[in-house]
Structure formats: structure tokens, C-alpha cells
A = this chain, B = another copy of it.
Amino acid sequence: MSQAAARASVADGGGFPLDDFLADVAGIEVSTELTDRRRRSRDYFWYSPILYQHLKDKVADVIVTPRDESEVMRVAAACARHHIPLTVRGGATGNYGQCVPLLGGVVLDMARLDRIEWQKPGMVRVQAGAKLFDIDAATRPNGWELRMHPSTKHMSQIGGFVAGGSGGVGSVTFGGMREPGNIVAARIVTLESEPRVIELRGDAAQKISRAYGTTGIITALEMPLAPAQPWIDVMVAFDDFIDGVRFAHAIALADGIVKKLLSPVEWPLPQHFSAFRSACPEGRSLLSAMIGEMSLESFETLLAATGGTITYRAPHEDVPGKAPLYEHAWNHTTLQVLRTDRGVTYLQCLYPHDGLVEAVEAVREKFGGGEVLQHLEFIRLNGLMTASGIPVVRYSTAERLYEIIRGFESCGVMIANPHVVTLEDGSRYKRVDADQLGFKQEVDPMGLLNPGKMRSFVPLGDGGAA
């Protein structure tokens, strides 16, 4: 790595000599064309003005698109032999530069490893490049669906979601991706001159969750499914955002009410929900929800005791080309605003499970006037119902953004800073899992997998290789 780290990353790649590498991967699809390399070296990091400055010029030297695992192994072997960094690219819908090659080298585009290997009741095994949308489309006819998906379900791949995401639509019931039981198995390829295939089962799958692909190249995943439910998309308008939060919290805690999404959104954010214009009355905050059809009447009964009004209610359907309700929650909320207003960015919050509503009020008090607009995503963590949040923040300077972070923290809200590129800085606890660190020494001894993302990793070296 010292060799790679010493190189200045430049706008047309890391400057790695490719001839020997390309000879080694002959027959595998590669692209060295600059426009294509630039396009496939990016994700949605540009939501952050800070990351944008930091990442916009990072470019891979070559994009490789394997067709199957044996090609992945050939690429891994070639990278190990020639000491070239390898960064895995999934759907590239992340916001933290997860698939940006900080030091150039190879970007491994997983789009062709998109096969569904098998289905059983409650379980699916898929290649890492399968799109979440396609997986759901394949499992729903059998009565099952993915337990959770990001708001980018239409574009995201399962491998990228597991490697980067911490939860999403469905986490209000099943908790975060890392909760025990939410990943059954992962198959990985090591980055060595003679790559191994390792099948991680049970809790071992935790070794690859939210590691940005630094702990092995994920080629397949066995994911537990949820019974496919008849979901109803519902929007409820409230005069006061806090009333919406309070109602959503009550529904979140009502274990008899089946739900997949509970997202209270502060006005004027709904102004930007153009696909649901008529359901977003002027001046009113919203709750976007996905409720099990059999629970809708109970939901409405509890709603009757509040000041909320249902403005939209329709069976959930997810078809290409139509923006579903969940594309107005999680970090898609930020995207809806960015479409017309490039002056905003966002934060990632975890509200306290105890005193949740009070924390939301305290934040509103501190940042009145529109600089910070809150929306919450209810989620179970460690068996407790709480809410994450991805507030939309008017951006002025990095200093002010850090002031705002401290303001949230003073209200008892934890921040996972999304304006940094390393796993550690982006974690709520500012560290990487010890297990993952140790495991990385085994599977990537030279530290060539997505280098720069796991800051605390120091390769012990593998003098024998290359």
C-alpha cells in the first residue's frame, strides 16, 4: 500500500501501469475510456458539498465488469500480483463515496453478477449484483419480499446495500441490517495472488455488513425474507410537525399494527414532493407510511384521536417509471429537495429511544427558521423502537455544518457524520468493528480492497505475494 498511497490521485486515474494487469484479465470486459471511467467512479456523494470537493476528481484507471465469480477471482488475483487497488461498485446509490476509488486502480462493476441462485420459503440466495427491485419482483409471486430496502430500491444492488447500508424501508419492523438474523450468509472472494472463496454463515456475515467492500469481494448473499404483505401507502397531514411525530411514535410502538415505513416530514419539505403534489397541502407537515392492509382500520382509529388528516391512501404498487411513496423518505427526501434547490445537504441522526419526541422538539427550537428541517425514519435497534433521521440542512460552510452537528448532539441526538469517507468517521462510535479489522488481515493482507475507507487498518504485509 505504501506504493499506492504515495501516488497523488489525479483526475485521469491513479496512474497504475495496466499492461500486465490487462494481460492477466484478457477475455474479461474492461473499459479504459475516460468518460466511462469517470461515470463509473462516482456515487451520490455529491449530496455533501464537502465530499463533493474531496471526491469529484477521483477516477479509476480501469473499469472491469466480470460475468461470474471465476472472473472476479481472476481480477482479484491480478490486482494482488500487481499491487493495484480494487474498489467494488454496486448500484452506486450510496452517499458516502463507498464505491469511489480514492487511489484509482480497478473499479469492479458487479452489475452482471445479477442472478437469483435459488429461493426457499423465507429465504433467497442471490449474486451480489442483483438489484433489490428485481429480487423483490422474483420473490413476491412466491409470497415473500426483502425485509428491508433503501429508498433507492429501483437502482440499488443487494451487495452494495449490505456492504454500505444500515437499514431502510422495513427496518421499523426488522431493525437494522446488522441485527442478528438479517443476513444469513455471504460468499466472498479474497484479495490474494491465489484468491480463496469463503462462505461466511450465521453471525459471520456481520464481517461484511457495512464494511464498504473492504473485507472481501462479496459475490453472493443468502438473505432471509419477510412474508409479502398487502401494503397500503398512506400520507397524513398535520398542522404541527410534532403531532405527526407523536402519532408516528404511537404507531411505531403498537406491535399489533403492521408497518414497513413511518416517516414524519416537516413542512416545507413536502413542497418538493412533486409526484404527490395534491397530497401535500400548503403549510402542513406530513407522515408518509406503509401500513399492512389488515391494520389500516386500526391505524385510522388511532389517527381519529389526533388532528391528522389522510391526504393519500392507495395500495402500494412498485413499477418502473413511477416514483413510489418510499422515494420521499430516507435520503430520497434530500434528493427531492436537491432537484430544485442545490443549496442544501443533510445529516444522519439517531434520536434517543427514550425522550424521542422531546429531542425532536429541542432540535426544532434550536434551529428554527428553516436552516434545519427534520424528517424521521422509525427503526428498531437492539430490540428498541427509536428513530433515525436525515434532516435537510441549508449549507453555508463546513464550520457551520459542524456547529449544527454539535447542536444536535447537545439535544441528545447522535450523529453519524455523512460528510466523511472512512468507515470510522462515519460511524456513530467513530470506530470499526474489531472483528472486521481482524478479518481484513485474513482476506486482504495487502490492504488493496477499497483503500482509504477503513482508516484503522494497517496491513501486516504479505511479503510473499506479487
Q: Which residues of A are in contact with B by a Cβ distance under 8 Å?
A: 120-123, 143, 147, 173-175, 179-182, 184-185, 201-204, 224-225, 227, 229-230, 250, 252-258, 292-295, 297-302, 304, 380, 382-385
Contact = CB atoms under 8 A, between A and B. Distances in A.
Contact of A301 (B123, B201, B227, B250): B201
Contacts of A121: 230, 293-294
Contacts of A256: 147, 174-175, 179-182, 224
24 contacts: A122-B229, A122-B293, A173-B255, A175-B254, A175-B256, A180-B250, A180-B254, A180-B298, A180-B301, A181-B256, A181-B258, A181-B295, A182-B256, A185-B297, A201-B297, A202-B304, A203-B302, A224-B256, A224-B258, A224-B294, A225-B294, A227-B227, A227-B229, A253-B384
Q: Which 7 A-B pairs have the closest CB atoms?
A: A253-B383, A202-B301, A181-B256, A227-B227, A122-B294, A175-B255, A182-B256
Contacts of A254: 175, 179-181, 383
A298 B203 contact: yes
A325 to B, nearest CB: 20
Contacts of A229: 122, 227
Contact of A383 (B180, B255, B299): B255
Contacts of A382: 253
A295 B250 CA distance: 28
A51 B202 CA distance: 49
Nearest to A202: B301
How many copies of this chain does one complex carry? Answer: 2
B181 A300 contact: no
A147 B295 CA distance: 13
A201 to B, nearest CB: 7
Given A143-B143, A383-B253, A203 B301 contact: yes
Contacts of A180: 250, 254, 256-257, 298, 301-302
B202 A298 contact: yes
Contacts of A252: 383
A353 to B, nearest CB: 10
Contacts of A295: 181, 224
B230 A122 contact: yes
A203 B294 CA distance: 14
Contacts of A230: 121-122
A403 to B, nearest CB: 34
Nearest to A143: B143
A255 B120 CA distance: 21
A250 B181 CA distance: 12
A416 to B, nearest CB: 20
A292 B174 CA distance: 13
A179 B294 contact: no
A435 B148 CA distance: 38
Given A179-B256, A256-B179, A184 B294 contact: yes
Contacts of A257: 180-181
A300 B185 CA distance: 13
B385 A383 contact: yes
Contacts of A380: 255
A297 B123 CA distance: 12
A301 B184 CA distance: 10
Given A122-B230, A180-B254, A180-B302, 18 more contacts: A120-B294, A122-B294, A175-B255, A179-B254, A179-B255, A180-B257, A180-B298, A181-B299, A184-B298, A201-B297, A202-B300, A203-B302, A224-B256, A224-B292, A224-B294, A227-B229, A253-B382, A383-B385
Nearest to A225: B294
A322 to B, nearest CB: 23
Residue among A256, A295, A297 with max Cβ neighbours from chain B (10 Å):
A256
A384 B182 CA distance: 20
A202 B122 CA distance: 31
Nearest to A254: B180
Contacts of A301: 180, 201-204
A304 to B, nearest CB: 8
Contacts of A204: 301
A168 to B, nearest CB: 14
A201 B298 CA distance: 8
